[in-house]
Structure 1
Amino acid sequence: MVAEPASHAVVTLTTMAQSQALLRAKDATTQAGFTAERIPARVFRRRPILMDDGAGNREHRRQLVRFFSPRALEQHRGFIEKAAAEMVDEARQTGSAQLDDLALMFSVRVASEIVGLGPGDTAALARRLEAFFNQPPVDHTRADYGRTNKDWARAARDALVPLAQFYWRDVRPAIRARRANPADDIITHLLNRGYRPREILMECLTYGTAGMVTTREFISMAMLRLHENPKLLARYRVADATERTAILSEIIRLEPPVAHLYRRVQSEAPGCPYAPQTLVDIDVRESNTDPRVFDPGPGELCPERNLAAAERTGLSFGDGAHRCPGSHLALMETDVLISTLLRAGATIAAPPRRQFDTLVQGYQWRDFMLGFETEP
């Protein structure tokens, strides 16, 4: 489908084959989502990983694999399980909890540990990161992103204060601590690569917000989908870790936290037969229900699909050079928190409100109230 909503063509891809080919077309496209094209190249010697492209970005991602591999994450499992147990125990003693807030605190605490931000005030850090995303709506398919100059001014103003607070209260102290005492975390890794403070700030923002925003929403979505299907919920309660991961992989395939990925064509190449400057809109939800890949019943939740582990989630974690390095972590976090909640007797007390974040292109769940059975 080709349209001309503004000064450039927009192509929408809805099949797995086309979408994967485009995302894997090396150096043919660049990041066009998350308003990446509005960030001047001169601001950073090294652009944030979410917005960078090319050989340098691929090498950076290759080096980061060791922090997010299943083996590396097992070293953090004890911390992740302890954090979940403490938060859930506190909620159970209170008698209720708001899952979207609980998932926010949990995901931020876990991301802080792996990035190297340290054990600070998780609630305050979460508020700073959340405030950064309080942005005017955007439309990535329009040349002006659907924003007026006043909207852009507001976006810059509203982002500046939480960004500055994030640097002075979280990132700068962590940089100083890691310079004095290096550790096996991402901030130490960035310092060893010669990253400047402003570049480390943006990397931390990328990891913190990616880990916070998408994982937070998926935890709520997974909890909701499990409770909508009593048989699936009963199966999840008694399943082993492998089976639980298969269930969560199916849920995230059907309910991708980021529903659209945007790429700007720089040159035609195999898998990218479009004119330069074309905006490609990859419809993740449609691609993830492509019957040529996910038959039978592509729209049904079926953990037994005969697919390789990397294929089970479809494009929910992206593909190619911009595949999310934290995919294993997101599934582990979700499983740990939900399993801990279920063991504590958590039940849905009130259905949440569904919203949509145009910047991330993903769903939001708010006011998701949980109660707890007296004897789980």
Structure 2
Amino acid sequence: MSAQSHLASPPARCPVDHARDDRKSASAARGGLIQAPTVSGFEAVRAVLRDTNGRQAGFKAEVIGKYRGKARPPILFLHGEAHRRQRSGTARFFTPRVVETRYRELMERTSDALIARLVKDGSGDLDRLSLEMAVAVAAEIVGLTESDIDGMSRRLDSFFSTAFQTGRGKFAEIMSFLLGQWRMRRFYAKDVKPAIAARRAAPREDVISHLLSEGYSPLDILTECFTYGAAGMVTTREFITMAGWHLLERPDLRAQFLAADADGQIAILEEILRLEPVVGTLYRHVEGGTVALDVRAANGDPAAVGTCPHALDPERARAPRVTGPGLAFGDGEHRCPGAGVALHESAVFLDRLLRVPGLRLERAPDVGWNPLIAGYELRHCRLAIDPA
């Protein structure tokens, strides 16, 4: 399925090399299997995302629906009034003012601690540092603060990494389910249950406290924490690693990023995200069946983002009403509520990291494809610090 874009074309602005392609995840994305009619034009994809009659698919929606039993569906799979009510109840945790006043100090403190460890060791993996950064921030927002961050990072990583994929066939499906159940129980016992107990005794301004006030059961809360784990931790980890990779390999871009103010840094990160959306394909149930929304193709639609759509150009002229990251955060009622958080924490961490004297990229990451999130996965991105 395809559609022509009806966007007004933006002014032309193109590097000297008209065929330039700065994407680092394109080869991995080509290996991803899409088993549904595909929508790829920017305007067409956005229209489906904004269709109030559409229903969320993908992200193992069918599996969660089959095995969640009596638990409420997580916010990711709600729609209509139920979704609007839950989104309005949690929106206060993601506003720009709250991010700046409540979470910035945590972002700065966590960044400083991680970078201090990197400097002390002399080397480290950017993807590992990024995971710990993302987990620390998301855990504070959700309320998963009664357990060890490093341990929770490992537990969440075991869920979503491609290492968790155990193969194909009925036996592999059963083993994957049983392993997932065991890991879910461990996540509940070590991370979620202590957080619930602490917030029953003393509610705070976080998602778990809100869910308790709404009468959510421990199983309901576990399901939501698992969902936020995927959305707020895993995807942010991949983006920070990808953005760091681009900035470390482009001295000119790194210098531009470090010289920019807060808005300028966000603009650079948004352009990297447009070029390298972590979730490359979204799925929706619409009238007529399930469709795959090709976010990568939509974000490279020249009618929306201008000429040379695969070049990394933070100053590119976009069509009206096309934002910096394009559709990388989705659109419509399911647009990512934590978009501002992810960009803000990425800017804070990378600004501090890239100012470390002697920092260099020792090894570019391995690029894989994670079918669970239909997005790239970056591992073993090795950083080193040359002695002064």
Provide TM-score, normalisation by structure 1.
0.89
Structure 1's 45 and 154: CA in aligned 2 closer, same or farther, altered over 3 A? Answer: closer
Residue 381 of structure 2 is aligned to residue 356 of structure 1: no
- Paired with 1:58 and 1:160, the residues of 2 have a C-alpha distance of 30
- Paired with 2:370 and 2:70, the residues of 1 have a C-alpha distance of 26
Q: Paired residue for 1:288?
A: 299
Q: Paired residue for 2:233?
A: 212
Residue 114 of structure 2 is aligned to residue 87 of structure 1: yes
- Deviation of 1:49 (Å): 1.4
Match of 1:234 among 242, 255, 262: 255
- Paired with 1:45 and 1:198, the residues of 2 have a C-alpha distance of 6
Contact 1:14–1:284 (8 Å) recurs in 2: yes
Deviates more, 1:291-300 or 1:17-26: 291-300
Contact 1:132–1:158 (8 Å) recurs in 2: no
User: How many positions carry a matched residue from both structures?
Assistant: 350
Once the two structures are superposed, the pairs formed by residues 253-264 of structure 1 within 5 Å of their partners are: 253-264=274-285
Q: Paired residue for 1:169?
A: 190
Residue 211 of structure 2 is aligned to residue 190 of structure 1: yes
Q: Paired residue for 1:181?
A: 202
- Paired with 1:55 and 1:137, the residues of 2 have a C-alpha distance of 38
- Deviation of 1:246 (Å): 0.0
Supply the AA of the counterpart residue of 1:299.
Answer: H
- Paired with 1:40 and 1:226, the residues of 2 have a C-alpha distance of 40
Q: Paired residue for 2:328?
A: 316
- Paired with 1:33 and 1:282, the residues of 2 have a C-alpha distance of 11
Post-superposition CA distance 1:54-82 (Å, at most 9, x none): 32012211222211111111121001100
- Deviation of 1:117 (Å): 1.1
- Deviation of 1:189 (Å): 0.6
Once the two structures are superposed, the pairs formed by residues 67-82 of structure 1 within 5 Å of their partners are: 67-74=93-100, 75-82=102-109
- Paired with 2:75 and 2:360, the residues of 1 have a C-alpha distance of 38
Residue 79 of structure 2 is aligned to residue 66 of structure 1: no
Residue 267 of structure 2 is aligned to residue 246 of structure 1: yes
Q: Paired residue for 2:64?
A: 39
Secondary structure in 2 matching 1:305: coil
Structure 1's 309 and 64: CA in aligned 2 closer, same or farther, altered over 3 A? Answer: farther
Question: What stretches of structure 1 move > 3 A for 4+ residues in a row?
Answer: 305-310
- Deviation of 1:309 (Å): 8.7
Deviates more, 1:36-45 or 1:159-168: 36-45
- Paired with 2:310 and 2:297, the residues of 1 have a C-alpha distance of 10
- Paired with 1:103 and 1:119, the residues of 2 have a C-alpha distance of 21
Supply the AA of the counterpart residue of 1:57.
Answer: H
- Paired with 2:351 and 2:217, the residues of 1 have a C-alpha distance of 40
Contact 1:48–1:203 (8 Å) recurs in 2: yes
Once the two structures are superposed, the pairs formed by residues 9-48 of structure 1 within 5 Å of their partners are: 10-26=36-52, 28-40=53-65, 43-48=69-74
- Paired with 1:248 and 1:363, the residues of 2 have a C-alpha distance of 17
Contact 2:71–2:219 (8 Å) recurs in 1: no
- Which 5+ residue runs of structure 2 have no aligned equivalent? 3-34
Once the two structures are superposed, the pairs formed by residues 121-160 of structure 1 within 5 Å of their partners are: 121-133=148-160, 134-136=163-165, 147-160=168-181
Residue 356 of structure 2 is aligned to residue 344 of structure 1: yes
- Deviation of 1:229 (Å): 2.1
Structure 1's 304 and 317: CA in aligned 2 closer, same or farther, altered over 3 A? Answer: same
Higher relative contact order (CA closer than 8 Å, sequence separation 6+) = 2
- Deviation of 1:33 (Å): 0.6
Secondary structure in 1 matching 2:373: coil
- Deviation of 1:137 (Å): 7.3
- Paired with 1:374 and 1:329, the residues of 2 have a C-alpha distance of 34
Once the two structures are superposed, the pairs formed by residues 264-283 of structure 1 within 5 Å of their partners are: 264-265=285-286, 267=287, 275=288, 278-283=289-294
Contact 1:67–1:185 (8 Å) recurs in 2: yes
- Paired with 2:64 and 2:152, the residues of 1 have a C-alpha distance of 24
Q: Paired residue for 1:143?
A: none
- Paired with 2:107 and 2:266, the residues of 1 have a C-alpha distance of 16
Secondary structure in 1 matching 2:327: coil
- Which 5+ residue runs of structure 1 have no aligned equivalent? 3-8, 139-146, 268-274
Tell me the C-alpha RMSD between the 2 structures.
1.9
Secondary structure in 2 matching 1:76: helix
Supply the AA of the counterpart residue of 1:126.
Answer: S
Supply the AA of the counterpart residue of 1:25.
Answer: D
Post-superposition CA distance 1:126-152 (Å, at most 9, x none): 1111112243379xxxxxxxx522222
- Deviation of 1:45 (Å): 4.6
- Deviation of 1:160 (Å): 1.3
- Paired with 1:93 and 1:40, the residues of 2 have a C-alpha distance of 46
Contact 1:137–1:358 (8 Å) recurs in 2: no
Provide TM-score, normalisation by structure 2.
0.86
- Paired with 1:289 and 1:351, the residues of 2 have a C-alpha distance of 24
- Deviation of 1:119 (Å): 4.9
Post-superposition CA distance 1:173-222 (Å, at most 9, x none): 11111011011111111111111100101111111222221111111110
- Paired with 2:269 and 2:65, the residues of 1 have a C-alpha distance of 38
Contact 2:147–2:194 (8 Å) recurs in 1: no
Supply the AA of the counterpart residue of 2:376.
Answer: Y
- Paired with 2:233 and 2:70, the residues of 1 have a C-alpha distance of 24
